[in-house]
Amino acid sequence: MNNSISLLTVDDDATDAKLIKHALAELNIECGFIHFIGYQDLLEYLRSPGFIMPCIILMDLNTPQMSGFEFLEIIKNDPIFRRIPAIVLSGSTSLTDVNRSYSLGAAGYMPKPGDYEELKNMLGIIHKYWFVNKLPAIY
């Protein structure tokens, strides 16, 4: 990830998003960062003229109103949004949830880290992996 890539996160807990932002800064990872509290907000953003690619989505599964699974089904059936890598970051370690997420097209499924250091380590690895990957730039 570099500053031309945006990291979009969906989490109804604003504290988690603040921690991610803080960890990215501490790791000197320069990328766009936008936090959404729900999937409706994220979908509105994706459909707005201001939406910029390339981006990756770091998503929670259990959110009020629309679940992560519902969101995955929507974006993975959309001709444009289906190109965006969506990584699940969830408190659930149920194998059913893991398999369902991958079957719906998630580009990774990771358990929510237990503490801040684990979060930093995880973001560092996500950064290194997506930095070497080519992402669809424009459409």
Partner 1 sequence: MEIFKSVVILLVEDDPGDQKLIKKSLCSDRIKNELYTASSGEQAWEYLRKSKTDNEDIPMPDLILLDLNMPGMGGKELLKLVKADEELRSIPVVILTTSDADKDILESYELQASGYIKKPVSIDEFAVVMRDLSEYWFVICKRVSHVTAADKRCFVGGANE
In the complex, minimum distance from the CB of residue 93 to partner 1, in angstroms, rounded to a whole number = 7
Q: Which stretch binds partner 1 (CB under 8 A): 20-28, 37-45, 65-73, 101-109?
A: 101-109
Residue 49 or 138 with smaller CB distance to partner 1? 138
Is there binding between residue 111 and partner 1 (CB under 8 A)? yes
SS (H, E, C) 21-73: HHHHHHCCCCCEEEEECCHHHHHHHHCCCCCCCCEEEEECCCCCCCCHHHHHH
Query: How many other CB atoms are there within 10 angstroms of residue 92's CB atom?
Result: 17
Can you tell me which residue has the tokens 């398999």? Answer: 99
In the complex, minimum distance from the CB of residue 60 to partner 1, in angstroms, rounded to a whole number = 15
Is there binding between residue 139 and partner 1 (CB under 8 A)? yes
Is there binding between residue 122 and partner 1 (CB under 8 A)? yes
Cα–Cα distance between 139 and 136 in angstroms, integer? 8
Is there binding between residue 116 and partner 1 (CB under 8 A)? no
In the complex, minimum distance from the CB of residue 65 to partner 1, in angstroms, rounded to a whole number = 25
Residue 125 is given by DSSP the state: H
Contact 21, 58 (CB under 8 A): no
Point out which residues bind partner 1 (CB under 8 A): 76, 79, 82-85, 93-95, 98-99, 102-103, 105, 107-111, 121-122, 125-126, 128-137, 139
